[in-house]
């Protein structure tokens, strides 16, 4: 006969693996989100309060890189006013779409997704981009490539997983082997903006250029930090003949806001 304790241990372990009892952000016991597919996935990790607190980047933004302006004054005089960064060093992309702040539960969600192999979070994270991407004319989508050595150690490319979800949603072709990394780079974490740019210079290359020639490409990353990676990717794609490059990441780190 199964005793409560013999059953309890195995079932308890199983349930706590599938549904951890505490929210990864605030540590309180998890209460159910509204019952959608998302809710089931998110409730493995986050309580309703923490997930509902995630914040979009609102207000007036640079029309190129989407960095929010501290005040809307410049835009009220000139609606096309671009930020200082984009004026000094114009990116090769047409527009960056980075709808959410890298804060609160989204920091944890990215960590779980990227470093703890919780690939089930790809869908809710990619879905954060859907509203921002709706209406764009895109011919093909790709994720920022990883170097094969990094790919082997991580076993998956988080940017490609996001790109794949978007490709499925919008019925865009997904290209996974057109752009690749020519060398390994230092981790960008902790590097200054200048060092990040230098670290990324010339890191991508394109094979079979005819596949992107004249196309509108969407390049996807998991987090937009200084934009160094996506800028370098867009530059490479434009050089290889892409007509336009849009870049996107569900979350963005904000500096000086």
**Minimum distance between the CB of residue 85 and Zn ion, rounded to whole angstroms?**
5
Considering the complex, state which of residue 123 and residue 252 has its C-beta at the smaller distance from Zn ion: 252
Considering the complex, state which of residue 47 and residue 142 has its C-beta at the smaller distance from Zn ion: 47
**Minimum distance between the CB of residue 213 and Zn ion, rounded to whole angstroms?**
27
For binding to Zn ion (CB under 5 A), which residues are involved?
A: 23, 25-26, 47, 50, 62, 64-65, 83, 86
Question: In which element (H, E) is residue 47 found?
Answer: none
Report in angstroms the alpha-carbon separations of 73 from 27, 61, 70, 119: 41, 11, 9, 42
**Minimum distance between the CB of residue 215 and Zn ion, rounded to whole angstroms?**
24
φ/ψ region of 50 (left if φ > 0, alpha if ψ in -120 to 50, else beta) reads alpha
**Minimum distance between the CB of residue 197 and Zn ion, rounded to whole angstroms?**
15
Considering the complex, state which of residue 109 and residue 191 has its C-beta at the smaller distance from Zn ion: 109
Considering the complex, state which of residue 63 and residue 241 has its C-beta at the smaller distance from Zn ion: 63
Q: Torsion over CA of 234, 236, 238 and 244, rounded to 10 degrees?
A: -30
Residue in 247, 244, 217, 215 with CA at minimum distance from that of residue 230: 247
């Amino acid at each position: 006969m199964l005793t409560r304790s013999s059953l309890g241990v195995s079932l308890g372990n199983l349930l706590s693996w599938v549904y951890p009892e505490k929210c990864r952000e605030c540590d309180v016991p998890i209460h159910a989100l509204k019952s959608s597919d998302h809710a089931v996935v998110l409730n493995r990790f986050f309580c309703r309060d923490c997930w509902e607190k995630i914040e979009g980047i609102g207000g007036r933004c640079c029309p190129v890189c989407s960095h929010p302006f501290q005040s809307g004054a410049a835009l009220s005089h000139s609606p096309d006013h671009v930020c200082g960064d984009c004026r000094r060093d114009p990116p090769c992309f047409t527009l960056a779409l980075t709808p959410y702040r890298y804060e609160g539960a989204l920091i944890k969600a990215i960590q779980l997704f990227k470093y703890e192999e919780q690939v089930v979070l790809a869908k809710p994270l990619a879905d954060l981009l859907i509203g921002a991407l709706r209406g764009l004319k895109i011919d093909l989508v790709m994720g920022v490539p990883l170097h094969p050595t990094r790919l082997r150690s991580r076993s998956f490319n988080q940017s490609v997983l996001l790109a794949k979800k978007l490709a499925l949603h919008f019925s865009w072709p997904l290209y996974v082997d057109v752009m690749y990394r020519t060398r390994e780079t230092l981790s960008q974490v902790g590097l200054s903006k200048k060092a990040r740019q230098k670290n990324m210079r010339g890191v991508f290359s394109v094979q079979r250029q005819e596949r992107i020639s004249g196309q509108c490409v969407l390049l996807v990353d998991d987090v937009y930090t200084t934009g160094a990676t996506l800028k370098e990717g867009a530059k490479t794609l434009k050089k290889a003949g892409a007509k336009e490059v849009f870049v996107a990441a569900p979350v963005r780190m904000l500096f000086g806001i």
